Each structure stands twice: as structure tokens, then as C-alpha cells.
Amino acid sequence: MAQLTVISTPANVFRTRPASSFYHDVVQGLRAQQKYLDPKYFYDAAGDELFQQIMQCPEYYLTGCEMEIMTQQSAAIAAAFSKYAADYDVIELGAGDASKSIHLLQQLIDNGTDYTYYPIDISGNVIQLLNSSLPQQLPQLSFRGLQGEYFEMLKYASTISSRRKILLFMGGNIGNFSPAAARSFCQQLRQHLQSGDLLLTGFDLKKHPQLILHAYNDSAGITREFNFNLLRRINRELQADFDTSKFEHFPTYDPQSGSCKSYLISLCAQQVHIGDDVTIPFRENEPIYMEISQKYDPVEINQLAAFGGFAPVAEFRDQRNWFSDCLWQAV
């Protein structure tokens, strides 16, 4: 039977950071010499829904590529898990709706693997969705939902299970970090793992630049709305007065560095107020840096593994070689 446990304490020890941190991070980013907003704040209830829509856009190939891998190669991935780990739990960082990982979870159940699934997500909406959907989809699955920051939740998971860990970091989420930040992130992940633990992480591979750019500038404008939703959240939760009609969504892709970045461009000189005390001036054409989606080639992937303290042990690609799920072992 499924074990429905959402870790939630009265003091919010393991929950998302309080609204005061949201305020601090927004003001700090908008007062910087080069304005930016932290993309972790995209994911309120409306942002979660918009991102689900993005994943269904025909231009957003990443979801289809990894779904192909999960539906057609789950048996091979499960076999690789068994080769390197006998007794383990599965922990997914940024679980979302688990629509891809559920195929792998089902395969492990079919194989008779005794494991507990720990989905981690910063969004309480996501954890509640999993609480309602997973028992219906996988009634034999044992799981505990953990809402909060990745490293806080990994540390907590270690206190409730001594089994070997297999981490899932799906969807090309490693690309949400700059290359330098990805190296630091992998090092921090390694610090929360024991030698022999496994990490399955998805990488969007470098390909024709136009394919990549279209994925972040869909014809329906959903990615645009996803970016604007953060401004609306700031208006609502921090009593700001952003006028989204005075900004334009602008994605870019550099095929040499592999960096795909999104900006919101101020269309005029203007002032934005946050509460009663903060005024943010914008110049005409001044950008707000919103997010990055980094693309990799195989050499860069292996270099990242080595830098983080991992050894590549297996790789699973879609038929078009656009996306790679890489299995690394902590060394």
C-alpha cells in the first residue's frame, strides 16, 4: 500500500522559504547592476500550470524525447540500477507530476524491487498533486512526498532511510544552472551521497540552434506567459505594480556556449514600485535576466561528472539523439 507522508512541521523547517525571503531576493535581483529574478519563484500555482502547458507545446521537444526514453528504455535503466545497487530508495529532485518517471517506477515494481519513492519539490501544489494521483496510478508504490529545497530534503531523507540512494534529476533540469553553477550543484549533490549511490540526470544535447530557440519561444506564447507570471506573482504577493504590457519576452541562444537565456525587456523608461518603500527604475530596453537552459555535448557531460565526483556508468538517448539520460555513480 502507498504510504502518503508529506513532511510538514509547524515551524516549516522543511518547507519553502518564507515570503520575506521572496521579497529580499526580488529586491536584491532588481537592484543589481544587471537586473535578474530567481527562476525558483516561477513555480506558484499558476506557474506550475503554465509549465505543464509548456511541456505539451509541440516546439518543446525535451518532454517528448525523455518520455520516449522512459517508455522504451525503463527496463534497461532498471537493469543498470540493479547492476550497481542492490537495496535502494529512489529520490526524485523536482518531481513535477512524475509523468515521465512513473514509467520507471512501474518497471521497478514489475521487477519486484523493494523501494520507497521520495519525490522532492519546492512546490506544495506539486506534492499535493502527487498525493492524489500516485495512489491511483501506482497503488503498490510506497512513497513519501517531501516539500522544500533539494539539499534540505536530501539531508532529511538520510535521517529516515539508511538505504543506498538513486537520485533522479529529470527533464534537463541540470540545464537550469549556468555551467559554473552546475559544477557547484553536482559537488553539493555528491556531499549528500555515499560512494556507490547513483544519479540519473537528463541533459538536453546541443543541436540545430533554431530547434532550441523555438523550444523557448513557442508560437502559442505560453513560455512568454510563464515569464510574465512571475511579475504578476510579485504584484500580488509583494504589492508591486509591474505593467506586463510594458515588457517583452526575449529568448536568445548561443550555439558556441550552449546557453539559452530568457529575458524580459523594458519597452520604455519606467518605475516599478514594490510595496511602499522600494522603487525600481528601468531604462528603455533594459533587460531582466529570467532563466538559463544550458545545452551540453558528450565531452562536457563527462567533464561535469568528473568535476562533481561521479563516474559515468550508462547512457540512454532518444532515437534522434537530442536528449540523454546519464547514469552516474558517486565515487
Q: Is the dihedral of CA 201, 187, 173, 6 positive or negative?
A: positive
Q: What is the pLDDT of residues 88-102, one digit of tens each?
A: 999 999 988 899 999
Q: How many Å apart are CA 146 and CA 113, to the nearest integer?
A: 22
pTM given for the model: 0.87
232-243 mean pLDDT: 97
Q: How many Å apart are CA 195 and CA 188, to the nearest integer?
A: 14
What does DSSP say about strands 198-204 and 116-121: parallel, antiparallel, or unpaired? unpaired
Beta bridge partners of 325: 202, 316
Residue 18 in this model has a pLDDT that exceeds 80:
no
Coil, strand or helix at 118: strand
pLDDT at 5: 41
Q: What is the pLDDT of residues 246-268, one digit of tens each?
A: 999 999 999 999 999 999 999 99
Residue 1 in this model has a pLDDT that exceeds 70:
no
What b/e string do you get for 156-193 counting C-beta neighbours within 10 Å, with b at 16 or more? bbeeeeebbbbbbbbbbbbbbbebeebeebbeebbebb
Query: 10-19, 180-189, 194-203, 215-224 — which is least confidently predicted?
Result: 10-19
pLDDT at 19: 57
pLDDT at 3: 41
Q: What is the pLDDT of residues 22-69, one digit of tens each?
A: 999 999 999 999 999 999 899 888 998 999 899 899 999 999 999 999
Q: How many Å apart are CA 159 and CA 25, to the nearest integer?
A: 30
pLDDT at 15: 36
Model confidence at 125, in pLDDT bands (50, 70, 90)?
Answer: confident
Model confidence at 122, in pLDDT bands (50, 70, 90)?
Answer: confident
Domains and CATH numbers, the chain: 35-57+221-294 (no CATH), 61-205+297-330 (3.40.50.150)
Q: How many Å apart are CA 90 and CA 113, to the nearest integer?
A: 11
Which residue has cell 494521483?
Answer: 133
